[in-house]
């Protein structure tokens, strides 16, 4: 509508005035320059060429304006930041930790700019996805920096506590958050699955404690430990905040490290740090696969270096991708379409040169290789089997795929296959009786041991002699034939050469 009449305006104001009536003691207030609108005759409205002033109206009134009054207004631009670091800064929402441990961590990082730059470069592949997930859940973007503290953004990181991946899940917590760990993949290292699980866990911890510092302490130390520390302080009438609790040294430094990293990202120039530019754009795309395919072939079809392919798909620890268990792979953004085009044009007979064989009985690796008509070295390499290990019955092993086999590995095997190993030999403590003229040197020579070790085990010098009948302690690698065919409480690589305290008499 381009024109209004004075009569129309008068009727509109009468209606609006009736909708918001005032009490007898209420009055309107206006700015010094405002004046009430005038209601004149019913002659057609002719706007002046240059009005001397614009009428103002009380707040809440709906006032039509003439076309000439509609002037462009400045609107704050809401364009997304081009740099991912700036996007992270905008999402900071945790209270800063006021601790005297923070400056020391800042100085430690600032004194190692090359290490910091290397970590930031590694994060380039994963950081955008993490920030996207945090924003989708409405979580503080400080959490995107947590893998710097956990693993230096290395998805292949593995700790002494058997924690794996850039979010460092131990096996039990990984299973609790549906991270598959089997003979063919370890989802604790998977970029998508581990990020989902980590944020699920952090959200749950924040819901338990209502405090991000306590939630992060629980992520590092365990919610049970933090809960007991809080209960202990409460009984003693002490504070129950993060800084009030008595914690292990690792946990005490854990959040100061994160705060230091936050401070550096917030203002890198203050620490003379130059963060590499990371574009605010997805680094990878998700590609669906429907057939088993060799890892090397997948990288070739995607025209991606094998190392880069493995960095985006770190959960795969075998030379083949089983589609039934890993139906999606990650590829650099521009290479996803290249992979699909090359896959459609691929003229090879098959995509996978591997299949799965289930060990019918407990056997040595050499015996299994002979039965499969392959070299022992190839069998060990394909299945990552250490030396001095025996394959237990029921283990699923990757073996060459016969030319006649067309079917891919089934979902049941791809999702649940396990490789169970038992040491072929173990280091046992053996107690001997010294004979005439026995010494550290003669015992060491007899059993092929280092004299220094024999002396250490018996708390004597390397030139010491033993009295006849005296007990001598040595440690020897001995076969564990008695273990073959018996169930193991835990079949993992951690069992390799595990020392025991059982003495042979």
**DSSP codes joined into one string, 371-409:** HHTS-HHHHHHHHTPPTTEEEPTT-EEEEEPPTT--PPP
CATH number, domain containing residue 481: 3.10.350.10
Phi, psi of 475 (to 5 degrees): -120, 130
Lowest mean pLDDT among 8-17, 125-134, 275-284: 8-17
Output the six-digit token pair for 137.
Answer: 């859940």
Judged against a pLDDT cut of 60, whether residue 40 lies above it is answered with no
Stronger pLDDT, 333 or 37, i.e. the higher one? 333
Stronger pLDDT, 226 or 493, i.e. the higher one? 226
pLDDT of residue 387: 86
pLDDT tens column, 418-468: 999 988 877 788 899 999 999 999 999 998 899 999 999 999 999 999 999
**Residues 468 and 341 both lie in one domain:** no
Q: In the structure, what pLDDT confidence band is assigned to residue 349 with cuts at 50, 70 and 90?
A: confident
Lowest mean pLDDT among 20-29, 63-72, 315-324: 20-29
**Residues 166 and 240 both lie in one domain:** yes
- Could you give the residue numbers annotated as active site? 150
Judged against a pLDDT cut of 70, whether residue 205 lies above it is answered with yes
- Whether 461 is in a domain gets the answer yes
Contact between residue 254 and residue 95 where contact means Cβ atoms under 8 Å apart = no
Q: How many domains does the chain have?
A: 5
Please give the Cα distance from 191 to 165 (Å, whole number): 9
Judged against a pLDDT cut of 90, whether residue 262 lies above it is answered with yes
Judged against a pLDDT cut of 50, whether residue 185 lies above it is answered with yes
**Residues 170 and 256 both lie in one domain:** yes
- Whether 23 is in a domain gets the answer no
pLDDT of residue 78: 57
**Residues 318 and 203 both lie in one domain:** no
| 375-392 mean pLDDT | 93
Domain boundary among 345, 374, 398: 345
Please give the Cα distance from 395 to 402 (Å, whole number): 19
Please give the Cα distance from 267 to 262 (Å, whole number): 9
Convert 416-445 to b/e letters by CB count within 10 Å (16 or more is b): ebebbbbbbbbebebebebeeebbbebbbe
Domain boundary among 231, 246, 271: 271
**Residues 361 and 405 both lie in one domain:** yes
Orientation angle between helical segments 191-209 and 212-221, nearest 10 degrees: 120
Judged against a pLDDT cut of 90, whether residue 123 lies above it is answered with yes
Count of Cβ atoms closer than 10 Å to residue 279 Cβ: 11
Question: Distance between the two ends of the chain, CA-based, in angstroms?
Answer: 106
pLDDT of residue 307: 95
**Residues 482 and 390 both lie in one domain:** no
**Residues 136 and 115 both lie in one domain:** yes
pLDDT tens column, 85-118: 999 999 999 999 999 999 999 999 999 999 999 9
**Residues 427 and 477 both lie in one domain:** yes
Judged against a pLDDT cut of 50, whether residue 315 lies above it is answered with yes
- Whether 30 is in a domain gets the answer no
pLDDT tens column, 402-423: 988 989 999 999 999 999 998 8
For 85-90, the CB contacts below 8 A with 24+ separation are 85/265, 85/275, 85/278, 86/280, 87/131, 87/141, 87/280, 88/131, 88/141, 88/144, 88/145, 88/265, 89/141, 89/265, 89/266, 90/141
Judged against a pLDDT cut of 60, whether residue 234 lies above it is answered with yes
**Residues 320 and 396 both lie in one domain:** no
**Residues 149 and 190 both lie in one domain:** yes
Domain containing 302 equals: 284-345
Map residue 295 onto helix, strand or coil: helix
pLDDT of residue 35: 35
Judged against a pLDDT cut of 60, whether residue 400 lies above it is answered with yes
Contact between residue 109 and residue 61 where contact means Cβ atoms under 8 Å apart = no
pLDDT of residue 480: 65
Phi, psi of 388 (to 5 degrees): 60, 35
Task: For the chain, give the longest Cα–Cα distance.
Answer: 134
Chain Cα centroid distance, residue 363: 37
Please give the Cα distance from 237 to 297 (Å, whole number): 63
pTM: 0.72
- Whether 26 is in a domain gets the answer no
Please give the Cα distance from 377 to 386 (Å, whole number): 10
- Whether 28 is in a domain gets the answer no
Judged against a pLDDT cut of 60, whether residue 213 lies above it is answered with yes
Stronger pLDDT, 288 or 82, i.e. the higher one? 288
| 323-333 mean pLDDT | 96
Count of Cβ atoms closer than 10 Å to residue 143 Cβ: 27
Please choose, from the candidates 428, 425, 424, 458, the residue with its C-alpha nearest in 3D space to the C-alpha of residue 444.
458
pLDDT of residue 492: 32
- Whether 79 is in a domain gets the answer no
pLDDT of residue 27: 36
- Whether 264 is in a domain gets the answer yes
**Residues 246 and 386 both lie in one domain:** no
**Average pLDDT of every residue of the chain:** 83
β-sheet bridge partners, residue 331: 285
- Whether 416 is in a domain gets the answer no
Please give the Cα distance from 201 to 36 (Å, whole number): 60
β-sheet bridge partners, residue 158: 164
Whole-Å CA distances, 73 to 61, 66, 76, 363 = 20, 16, 10, 80
């Amino acid at each position: 509508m381009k024109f209004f009449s004075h009569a129309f305006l008068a009727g509109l104001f009468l209606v609006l005035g009736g909708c918001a009536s005032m009490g007898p003691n209420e009055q309107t207030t206006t700015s010094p320059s405002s004046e009430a609108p005038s209601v004149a005759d019913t002659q057609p409205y002719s706007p002046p060429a240059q009005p001397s002033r614009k009428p103002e109206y009380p707040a809440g009134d709906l006032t039509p304006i003439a076309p000439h009054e509609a002037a462009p207004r400045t609107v704050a631009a809401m364009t997304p930041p081009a740099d991912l670091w700036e996007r992270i800064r905008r999402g900071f929402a945790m209270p800063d930790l006021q601790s005297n441990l923070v400056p020391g961590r800042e100085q430690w990082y600032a004194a190692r700019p090359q290490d910091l730059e290397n970590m930031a470069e590694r994060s380039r592949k994963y950081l955008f996805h993490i920030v996207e997930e945090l924003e989708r859940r409405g979580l503080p973007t400080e959490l995107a920096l947590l893998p710097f503290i956990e693993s230096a953004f290395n998805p292949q990181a593995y700790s002494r506590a058997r924690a794996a991946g850039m979010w460092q899940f131990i096996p039990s917590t990984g299973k609790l958050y549906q991270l598959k760990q089997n003979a063919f993949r370890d989802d604790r290292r998977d970029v998508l699955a581990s990020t989902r699980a980590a944020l699920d866990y952090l959200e749950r911890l924040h819901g338990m404690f209502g405090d991000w510092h306590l939630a992060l302490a629980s992520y590092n130390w365990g919610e049970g430990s933090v809960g007991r520390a809080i209960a202990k302080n409460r009984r003693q009438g002490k504070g129950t905040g993060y800084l009030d609790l008595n914690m292990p040294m690792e946990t005490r430094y854990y959040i100061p490290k994160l705060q230091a990293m936050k401070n550096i990202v917030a203002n890198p120039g203050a620490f003379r740090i130059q963060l590499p530019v990371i574009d605010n754009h997805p680094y990878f795309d998700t590609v669906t696969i429907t057939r088993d395919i060799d890892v090397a072939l997948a990288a070739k079809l995607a025209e991606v270096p094998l190392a880069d392919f493995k960095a985006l798909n770190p959960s795969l620890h075998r030379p083949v991708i089983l589609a039934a268990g890993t139906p999606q792979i990650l590829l650099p953004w521009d290479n996803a379409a290249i992979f699909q085009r090359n896959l459609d044009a691929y003229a090879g007979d098959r995509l996978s040169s591997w299949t799965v064989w289930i060990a019918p009985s407990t056997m040595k690796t050499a015996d299994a290789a002979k039965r499969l008509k392959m070299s022992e070295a190839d069998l060990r390499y394909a299945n990552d089997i250490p030396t001095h290990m025996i394959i237990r019955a029921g283990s699923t092993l990757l073996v060459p795929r016969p030319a006649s086999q067309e079917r891919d590995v089934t979902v049941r095997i791809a999702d649940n296959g396990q490789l169970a190993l038992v040491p072929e030999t173990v280091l046992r403590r053996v107690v001997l009786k010294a004979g005439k003229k026995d010494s550290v040197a003669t015992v060491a020579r007899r059993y092929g041991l280092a004299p220094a070790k024999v002396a250490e085990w018996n708390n004597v010098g390397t030139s010491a002699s033993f009295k006849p009948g005296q007990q001598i302690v040595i440690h020897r690698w001995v076969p564990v034939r008695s273990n073959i065919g018996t169930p193991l409480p835990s079949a993992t690589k951690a069992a390799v050469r595990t020392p025991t305290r059982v003495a042979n008499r």
